[in-house]
Chain A
């Protein structure tokens, strides 16, 4: 009170810390800053919607043969009609209907094959990197052997023996493409294991299961996710290659790769048969690659 009248300057109060931006929000901002990721996601979303809503988007049955209407060109060419706006194939099936339903094969193969290979690869990678020694030697040797096979050759031979079907395709792609995850995770775990926070975990009496589940797995996850996007693109391309070689999902189920192989003999007279499914694959895979590239930048703390 004795100081009445004197302007008392406020004691320097530590600024209230700004509400910390949640991690997901920071990630989200990083992702939307560059339009490329959004474009990629939009392309992927478009294909997903088409595959879900295929029955609403076309009134034609994708496997209905109509020999009166065979080899009709797309609507913008002479002789094309709106009834079959992307034309018809060599037995009169509607190309748009086959493309729309065919997206289901590509997307489901891409998704489920990646789920399988990611699970196997991450598990084996952690085992090899964490326990080292004989476990590591055994797993690493298997990886070396698998990596020596051109991926497509192994898939091709296995599918040929097991018989072509959607389930076999998913299994074969999932079971042959796990090596990259295993290699990556193994390397990550070897580095992580020596770090202080893991050592502290041991000092506090954590069991192996807890160290792996609480500390190692979450730290490996970002790089695994990035690899998964690339692997999904690869699985979709591989499915189309195998179907193109006649060893994919069996006819009459429409698959983009198979459509191209049946359309190929007509390349000089009916260009749309082999061209349009390729564009569909291109859009899907490009969408995944673009989005995946942005996700990598988003998860990489060095990139701002």
Chain B
């Protein structure tokens, strides 16, 4: 129970920190007004905007009011969409969640069988091929993977649409791009935890009982190797959301990632702040969720 209170306290602290960073971000350049208005704006326009946005008040006052408003979910009006920034962001959330969820599933489908395979068939030619694939996957820029898939399946073969959202065919290429990006890490964890589990006594016992190799691997070994695998998949969500920023831009996928890049281009900083806080909120919640689950699954970790 004390652990739970402590966790909640930490979430509140993290939220406070995230909002603070989002606030001070736009003051980094000195004057946020010059950042948001086009360079040809007249002095009157600048002053009027400064007053309208409350940038003429003392910084401490602005900070307090930003935090209290943000706590209520109010990040101000988007300069470009002329509606509350939070609404604009929430509208785009489903597309991003759809993409990251599907990418996560895809990466699991790729990583778990291949990871098990390379743990069971050590030092074989095919294990080395898997290792080469892992290194390649880790070293490819994510947007380049996307462009190459587009070139192959969109431009040359005409199998898949190159951009937009709609049918499941639209989802395939962006999700695969993201999956290629995160699968290598998952695969390495699957491999190393399987290698460790396969050396345990109970695996030898299971084998000596005469159980088939498939049963031993999938029923006995995989279950015991699950904790680190679940943990790494959970922690990858943050990485996936970051990757979504780039991938959504490449494939014109109408999610939060594409929105934040566009908002930065158009200097729509209230919207940038809302995107940053909401995405960080999702990641922070996921991280704490994974953390608690890890503690729950692994009694060896003491809480605190």
Are A and B physically bound partners? yes
* Chain A residues within 8 Å of B, Cβ to Cβ: 141-142, 144-145, 147-154, 156-158, 160-163, 233, 237, 240-241, 244-247, 257, 260, 264, 267-268, 271, 274-275, 278, 281-282, 285-286, 289-290, 293
Is residue B125 contacting chain A, with contact meaning CB distance below 8 A? no
Q: B264, A148: Cβ atoms under 8 Å?
A: no
- A244 near B246 (CB under 8 angstroms)? yes
Q: Which residue of B lies closest to A264 (CB)?
A: B147
Given A144-B287, A149-B280, 6 new contacts (CB under 8 A): A145-B17, A147-B238, A156-B260, A282-B136, A285-B138, A289-B138
Cβ–Cβ < 8 Å partners of A281 in chain B = 139-141, 144
Shortest beta-carbon contacts, A-B, top 6? A150-B242, A145-B17, A278-B144, A148-B284, A286-B139, A285-B139
Contacts of A147 in B (CB 8 A): 238, 283, 287
Tell me, rounded to whole Å, the shortest Cβ–Cβ distance linking A242 to chain B.
Answer: 9
Q: What's the nearest-Cβ distance from chain B to residue A35, in Å?
A: 12
Q: Could you tell me the distance in whole angstroms from the C-beta of B72 to the nearest C-beta in chain A?
A: 20
Residues of B within 8 A of A158 (CB): 25, 28
* CA distance in complex: A289, B241 (Å): 23
- B276 in the interface (beta carbon within 8 A): yes
A260 to B26, CA, bound (A): 29
Q: What are 17 A-B residue pairs whose CB atoms fall within 8 Å in the complex?
A: A148-B281, A148-B283, A148-B284, A150-B279, A152-B245, A153-B275, A153-B280, A157-B264, A162-B29, A237-B141, A244-B143, A244-B246, A260-B141, A278-B141, A282-B136, A286-B139, A289-B135
In chain B between 16 and 46, which residues have their CB closer than 8 angstroms to a CB of chain A?
17-18, 21, 25-26, 28-29, 35
Closest beta carbon of chain A to B304's beta carbon, Å: 12
B272 touches A142 (CB 8 A): no
Asked if B143 contacts A145 (CB within 8 A), the reply is no
A234 to chain B: closest residue by CB: B138
Which B129-161 residues have C-beta < 8 A from chain A?
Answer: 135-136, 138-144, 147-148, 150-151, 155
Interface centre among A145, A150, A233, A247 (most CB of B within 10 A): A150
Which single residue of chain A is at the shortest CB-CB distance from B269?
Answer: A161
Contact call A148/B147, Cβ cutoff below 8 A: no
Tell me if B261 counts as interface (CB < 8 A to partner A): yes
